Amino acid sequence: MWHKHKVLVTGSAGFIGHHLMLALRGPGGSIVGLDLLNEYYDPALKYGRLALQGFSKTHIKYNTLVHSDEDEAMSFIQLDLVDEKALDDLFREQQFDIVVNLAAQAGVRYSLEHPQSYVASNLVGFANLLEACRKYPIKHFLFASSSSVYGLNHEVPFATKHNTNLPVSFYAATKKANEVMAHSYSHLYNLPVSGLRFFTVYGPWGRPDMAYFSFARAIMEGTPIRIFNNGEMYRDFTFISDVVEGIVRLLFVAPKAGTTVGSTAPYTIYNIGNSSPEHLLEMVAILERLLHKKGTLDLQPMQPGDVPITFADTQELTATTGFKPSIALEDGLSHFVDWFKTYYREQYQYAKT
């Protein structure tokens, strides 16, 4: 079945997108990665990921499909989802079977000061992608949502049936909007859609703005580690390989009509999380042990847009795929720190091993 399919992965130079591209590499169907390559964080990380996928920075040009040196079935195109005509041309030429949308302007805190960038990427770009999927019909549309949509919901663990109408950040509001927009297309055009609510994804080649990554850098640089709500924060940390495994298992499991209670559309939502909230200070302690260096805490009041706990109920994911994320935080952080020491060897003067 797989060898007959062509998959588009948007955000393929991003953290999750990169690991998904590697997981899909090898015998099977063809894969096209798409990314704008913006400068929200250090582009060197994005080009480093692309290099591992077999795409040389010198060959990448806007709206030009380039082929991987590692796998002839893999291609990459630098493209902005806001560029409606270029996106339409790509869909018309490639005739995708499955689309996995991981492209988005990320970051809860960044959205407090730069909301307009979320409108373009997360709303306009997402709408253009849905329209392309309608115009050039596909078999399954999967898209990244976020645990942040649960907002002021206080029931734990967070279940997909819980209320998500009270987001507390604009980033979360755009992700909630994505879910509603996707449902409308699913309902109107019979488009099979799976929304994926990710819970605090971490691991090698991650995003520098994520807590675990910024904490590791702060520990090594001797700068204060800012932790909000005076340290009383819990996160359902989910290792990247668990997230990717969940996505891969869902690729060919398109929802049927009426999967979601109250809807006749072929539409559903999954939580992808570890179902094991960890105290943020415990995460800091693990990083200190792995880095062999103590950090300095700077405890702050709760920041607007943040929530004290995330906790995933993954019953739907397990029932559908038989899979439940389970990698322990210390094991996952160990993999991250191994990568971190290699990537920043010169900057932090790590000894070669």
121-168 pLDDT, tens digit each: 999 999 999 999 999 999 999 999 999 999 999 899 999 999 999 999
Please, which residues bridge with residue 272 across strands?
A: 198
Domain of 104, in residue numbers:
2-202+237-275+310-326
- CA–CA separation, 223 and 214 (whole Å): 10
Encode pLDDT of 75-113 as tens digits. 999 999 999 999 999 999 999 999 999 999 887 777 777
**Is 210 a member of any domain?**
no
- For the cut 70, the answer to whether the pLDDT of residue 71 exceeds it is yes
Rounded to an integer, what distance in angstroms lies between the CA atom of residue 277 and that of residue 121?
30
- What pLDDT digit, counting tens, does each position of 168-221 carry? 999 999 999 999 999 999 999 999 999 999 999 999 999 999 999 999 999 999
Q: Catalytic positions, please?
A: 171
- For strand 267-272 and strand 193-198, is the pairing parallel, antiparallel, or unpaired? parallel
In-domain check, residue 286: no
| Site of tokens 């997108």 | 17
31 domain-assigned: yes
83 occurs within a structural domain: yes
Evaluate if residue 351 carries a pLDDT over 60. Answer: no
First to last CA, the chain: 43
Q: Which tens digits make up the pLDDT trace of 213-249?
A: 999 999 999 999 999 999 999 999 999 999 999 999 9
Residue 115 is predicted with a pLDDT of 85
- pTM of the prediction? 0.95
Report d(CA 81, CA 224) in Å as an integer. 37
For residue 282, being part of any structural domain is answered with no
Number of domains in the chain: 1
Kindly state the tokens that stand for 255. 């929802």
Residue 352 banded pLDDT, cuts 50, 70, 90: very low
User: Is position 160 within any domain?
Assistant: yes
- pLDDT tens for each residue of 259-272: 998 999 999 999 99
Residue 192, domain member (yes or no)? yes
Residue pair 194/254 in contact (Cβ under 8 Å)? The answer is yes
Q: Cβ-count burial of 325 within 10 angstroms (0-12 exposed, 13-18 middle, 19+ buried)? A: buried
Strands 238-239 and 201-202: parallel
Three-state DSSP class for 56? coil
pLDDT value at position 3?
56
Our measurement of the distance from residue 317's CA atom to the centroid of its chain's CA atoms, rounded to an integer in Å, reads: 16
> Which residue intervals of the chain are DSSP H helices?
15-24, 43-53, 84-94, 110-113, 115-118, 125-135, 170-189, 211-221, 240-250, 280-291, 315-321, 329-343, 345-348
The length of the chain, given as a count of residues: 353
Contacts of 168 (CB under 8 A, 6+ apart): 148, 151, 152, 304, 305, 306, 307
CATH number at residue 72: 3.40.50.720
Task: Quote the pLDDT of residue 64.
Answer: 98
Q: Is residue 161 part of a domain?
A: yes
3-class SS string, 160-199: CCCCCCCCCCHHHHHHHHHHHHHHHHHHHHCCCEEEEEEC
